[in-house]
Structure formats: C-alpha cells, structure tokens
C-alpha cells in the first residue's frame, strides 16, 4: 500500500533521460527541496503589494492579511473593503494605525493612492506589516454591521415549527430516524 502523496508514473526508459554527471545528484536534491518546500505565500505577489490587517468599528471580526496594491485609490480600497464588511464606501472613514494603535493617519482623499500614506512604514512589502492595520470606521447608524446584526445570531428571528406540523410533515429527519431504529 502506498503512502498518501503525489506519484508520477515513470516508464522503464525514463532513467535513460535523467541527468548524469558529477552534479546530477546535487541538482536533483536542490530540485526536490524546491518542490517540497513550504509555501512562503508571496510567490505571485507584486512588488507594489502590501499586506495589512483590517479591523472594523462595529465588528469583532479581524480580517487578517488582506492584500492591497499600493497604486489603488482610497476610493477603490473602500469599494473592495465594502465586500468584506458590508459598510458602504461613502459611510467609511479609513485609518492607518501602528501596532500600538497610536498615530492614526486618516485616509481622507478618495483620489490619492494607498502608497501615498506609506502603509508599510519601512517594513518590506512582502511581509505582514509589523502590526500596521487599517481600521474602518462606519459612520452609518443604520448600517448592517451596526448593533451586531452581522455577528450576533441571537438577534435573528428563528423559524419555529409546532410539534403538530412536524408530525404531519413527510420526509423529516425525525421520521427517518424512527424508521432506522425499528
């Protein structure tokens, strides 16, 4: 029995095509290490990409390591973030904070690019930005995220079925379970 993994079918003549010579074993070892190495997560990441942690004023949820292009306008950034948090772009105020939560920089100009605000603060672009985070403040009092509607399921009215209606219904789990126990 084979262990789990990826297997390649090799024909009997494939060994004739394998590299030969003094450096062939070393080349194969380097290739094997490259192929089996753990992913660093930055293989297909452009130099102009920055990774930020995102928080929201109304949500407990923290969106970890979202990738943004430094050439994206603040308006485009707000549109992208609205798909993550449900806050409409006009109701957003974006702030860039450091690891201690100090020094908030408001991203006020919708037509400036994210790179103008130096979100990486001297840290390499390809890594998470040493605690830098983008904070979304929701100014809409009627927002879906306000008052916990997106996270607190106890606020949602649950469907309740009476016992009589459940007994009269066909193809229920309860009837299936009773039949299996017979």
Identify whether 134 is part of a domain: yes
Kindly report the CATH number assigned to the domain that includes residue 96: 3.10.20.90
Q: How far is CA 38 from CA 33, 35, 43, 127, in A?
A: 9, 9, 11, 16
6 within a domain of the structure (yes/no)? no
> Is 24 within a domain?
no
Statement: residue 1 has pLDDT above 60: no
For residues 78-85, average pLDDT: 92
CB 69 within 8 A of CB 105: no
Whole-angstrom Cα distance, residue 81 to residue 125? 20
Helix locations, 40-181, DSSP H: 74-85, 163-168, 173-181
Expressed as residue numbers, the domain containing 99 is 49-142
- Does residue 118 sit within a domain? yes
Whether the CB-CB separation of 52 and 66 falls below 8 Å is answered with yes
Angstrom distance (rounded) from CA 59 to CA 80? 17
Kindly report the pTM of this predicted structure.
0.59
The confidence score (pLDDT) of residue 118 equals: 79
Higher per-residue confidence, 170 vs 109:
109
171: in domain: no
Q: What is the pLDDT of residues 126-178, one digit of tens each?
A: 444 455 789 999 999 888 788 777 788 888 888 888 888 888 888 888 888 88
Average pLDDT over residues 58-64: 82
Give the total residue count for the chain.
Answer: 182
Number of structural domains (the chain) is 1
Indicate whether 71 belongs to any domain: yes
């Amino acid at each position: 029995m084979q262990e789990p993994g990826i297997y390649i079918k090799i024909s009997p003549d494939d060994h004739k095509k394998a590299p030969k010579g003094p450096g062939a074993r070393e080349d194969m070892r380097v290739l094997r290490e490259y192929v089996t190495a753990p992913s660093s997560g930055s293989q297909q990441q452009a130099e102009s990409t920055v990774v930020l942690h995102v928080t929201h004023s109304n949500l407990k949820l923290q969106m970890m390591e979202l990738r943004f292009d430094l050439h994206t306008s603040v308006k485009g950034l707000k549109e992208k973030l609205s798909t993550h948090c449900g806050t409409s772009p006009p109701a957003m105020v974006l702030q860039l904070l450091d690891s201690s939560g100090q020094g908030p920089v408001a991203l006020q100009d919708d037509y400036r690019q994210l790179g103008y605000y130096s979100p990486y603060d001297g840290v390499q672009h390809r890594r998470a930005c040493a605690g830098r985070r983008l904070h979304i403040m929701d100014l809409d009092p009627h927002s879906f995220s306000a008052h916990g509607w997106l996270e607190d399921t106890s606020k949602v009215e649950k469907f309740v079925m009476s016992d009589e209606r459940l007994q009269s219904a066909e193809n229920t789990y309860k009837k299936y379970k009773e039949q299996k126990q017979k």
